[in-house]
Structures are given as C-alpha cells and as structure tokens.
Amino acid sequence: ETIKMMVSVGMGWSLWPDNMLEDELKPKQGSHISVERKLGIVRHPQRTLSNAAQAFIDLVLNDK
C-alpha cells in the first residue's frame, strides 16, 4: 500500500501486474519497456523433485 500511495501522489513509479491495478493507478500509455532479471535455482541434490518442480525448472532454463 505504501508503494501505491507514493506512485499515486507522483513520488515514484512501479511495475505492477494488471490484476493489481486499481482505479487510482493507470498504466502509462505508449511506454514499452523490457524488464529482465537473472534467476537462480537452488535445490537439494539428494532429494527428488516433483513433476511440477521439474517442469518449472525446465521452463525457466529453456526460456531464452
């Protein structure tokens, strides 16, 4: 809520998913930016991953 308040009074900007936008916050039209972030994976080498966890890791590692 603090970030929303600061953005709404012009004291900053933020990136939000569409479903979190409320009436008082509107997306800036025409501004297209690319946001990238490096991700790492930490796992216990002696534990078996669930099918869902393995699918997620495969998705993340192959999304280039």
- How far is 12 from 4, CA to CA, in rounded Å? 9
Report the phi/psi class of residue 30: left, alpha or beta, with left for phi > 0 and alpha for psi in -120 to 50. left
Which comes out higher in pLDDT, residue 42 or 64? 42
Q: What confidence tens digit (pLDDT) does each residue in 10-59 have? A: 887 777 777 776 666 666 666 677 777 777 888 899 999 999 999 998 98
Q: What is the pLDDT of residue 20?
A: 72
- How far is 58 from 64, CA to CA, in rounded Å? 11
Q: What is the pLDDT of residue 38?
A: 78
Q: What is the pLDDT of residue 52?
A: 95
Report the phi/psi class of residue 10: left, alpha or beta, with left for phi > 0 and alpha for psi in -120 to 50. left
Q: What is the pLDDT of residue 49?
A: 94
Q: What is the pLDDT of residue 5?
A: 81
